[in-house]
Structure formats: structure tokens, C-alpha cells
């Protein structure tokens, strides 16, 4: 997967879509923790979208933006490349880790939050309320993020993050992609499992750095 920083964001594709975390309708809210220490933790991923058994799945783009287009068979086939942020959040009400799928413009939002709230303590020590502004299906929907509380929580206090690559994003080689382009399926039967939502528990290993 071609992973990029904020400095490289303009070299990758567009945005769109939604992730495991979602607010369904206008004025819906949720209290969450962003599972980052600071802005250096925020990374983007370049992916391609395919359909498997009637469902959209993402596949890792194996081409760095400096590489020729034919370094990735899906890019060579002119399949759109999407620049995504898969933002890990801890949903407080549901006591669960979720992934919030955002477009590359969300780098700016995360930069602002980290500048204001992660200069002297980890960002995950803050509780934020996310509010949806826009009715269901409204393409102009926006999200407001409010700081509502702070404590001494660290990443070690939160559940381990689920893997993105090989879970939510299928991890495929160039040979896998060539096979898919010829056959409309992967040779391994699309055996990659979807990303798991892991509840908070004392039995869950803690994230270490």
C-alpha cells in the first residue's frame, strides 16, 4: 500500500465514501477519542475500489506516486486511485474501536485538532463530540468536531488497533491484480477477512510503541 504523509497528499487521488464509523442523519452525534498521540501518527493510504459479491471493497494501490503508472496493474488499467484516511477512533458509548473513512482533505481537520489539543498531551486524552450536519443522503454533509472533555488517557489505555491492510483493505500483489483484471475475481477466492471491530476489554492487548 502506498502510504503518504500530509506533505505528499496532493500527489494522490480523490476522496469519498464512508467507513465503519458513521452518523446516519442530521444532528446525530457521538463522543469519541481519536486514537493518535499527535499529527505525526496521521497517515493516508492510496487504494482502488472493486466490487466483490456485490459489495465494495478496497484494494491496496502498490504504486508510489513517483513510480510509473504500470507499476500497479489497477492504475495501468485506469482504475481510479483514491486517497483515504482510515481514522481510528474509540466510540465511547459503544465501547468499541471503529474506523472513520475520510478523504484526503481531512488531513487539515486533523492538523487543526492536533495543533490545538495535542501540543503538550496526546490527542487521545481528549473526548470529542462529532456532529453530523446534513440529512441522510445529502452530498453536502459536513461534520463538526467539539472538544468536550479531557483526562489522562493514553494509547496504552485503549484497545489495540485493528489492522487496515489485509483486513478492511485487501492486500494484493501485482500478480493478484492481473488475475482479477482477466477473471473478475482473485485466484484465492477473495479470502481476506473484513476488518474486525474489537470491543474494549482487559483481555485485549494494548498498543505498544
Q: What is the pLDDT of residues 144-193, one digit of tens each?
A: 999 999 999 999 999 988 788 887 899 999 999 999 999 999 997 655 44
The reply to whether 206 falls in a domain is no
Backbone angles phi, psi at 93, to 5 degrees: -65, -35
The reply to whether 163 falls in a domain is yes
Give me the number of domains the chain comprises.
1
Q: Give yes or no for a contact between 51 and 9, defined as CB atoms under 8 angstroms apart.
A: no
The reply to whether 79 falls in a domain is yes
Distance of alpha carbon 28 from alpha carbon 158, whole angstroms: 24
Confidence grade of residue 143 (pLDDT, cut at 50, 70, 90): very high
pLDDT of residue 28: 97
pLDDT cut 90: percent of the chain above it:
70
The reply to whether 8 falls in a domain is yes
Lowest mean pLDDT among 15-24, 47-56, 97-106: 15-24
Residue-range definition of the domain harbouring residue 157: 3-183
pLDDT of residue 166: 82
Q: Give yes or no for a contact between 4 and 181, defined as CB atoms under 8 angstroms apart.
A: no
pLDDT of residue 162: 78
The reply to whether 126 falls in a domain is yes
The reply to whether 196 falls in a domain is no
What is the grid cell recorded at 47?
A: 487504494
Output 190 or 101, whichever has higher pLDDT. 101
The reply to whether 179 falls in a domain is yes
169-170/55-60 β-pairing? parallel
The reply to whether 62 falls in a domain is yes
pLDDT of residue 206: 31
Q: Give yes or no for a contact between 60 and 83, defined as CB atoms under 8 angstroms apart.
A: no
pLDDT of residue 5: 66
Q: What is the pTM of this model?
A: 0.77
Amino acid at each position: 500500500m502506498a502510504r503518504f504523509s500530509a506533505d505528499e497528499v496532493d500527489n494522490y487521488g480523490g476522496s469519498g465514501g464512508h467507513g465503519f464509523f458513521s452518523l446516519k442523519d442530521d444532528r446525530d452525534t457521538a463522543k469519541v477519542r481519536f486514537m493518535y498521540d499527535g499529527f505525526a501518527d496521521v497517515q493516508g493510504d492510496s487504494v482502488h475500489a472493486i466490487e466483490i459479491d456485490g459489495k465494495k471493497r478496497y484494494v491496496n494501490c502498490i504504486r508510489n506516486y513517483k513510480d510509473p503508472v504500470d507499476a500497479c496493474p489497477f492504475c495501468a488499467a485506469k482504475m481510479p486511485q483514491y486517497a483515504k484516511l482510515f481514522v481510528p477512533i474509540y466510540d465511547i458509548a459503544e465501547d468499541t474501536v471503529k474506523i472513520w473513512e475520510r478523504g484526503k482533505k481531512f488531513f487539515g481537520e486533523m492538523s487543526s485538532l492536533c495543533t490545538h489539543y495535542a501540543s503538550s498531551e496526546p490527542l487521545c486524552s481528549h473526548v470529542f463530540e462529532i456532529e453530523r450536519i446534513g440529512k441522510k443522503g445529502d452530498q453536502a454533509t459536513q461534520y463538526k468536531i467539539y472538544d468536550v472533555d479531557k483526562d489522562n488517557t493514553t494509547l496504552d489505555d485503549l484497545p489495540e488497533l485493528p489492522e487496515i491492510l489485509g483486513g478492511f483493505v485487501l492486500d494484493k500483489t501485482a500478480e493478484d491484480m492481473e488475475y482479477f483484471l482477466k477473471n473478475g475475481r482473485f485466484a484465492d477466492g477473495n479470502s481476506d477477512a473484513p476488518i474486525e471491530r474489537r470491543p474494549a476489554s482487559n483481555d485485549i492487548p494494548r498498543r505498544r510503541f
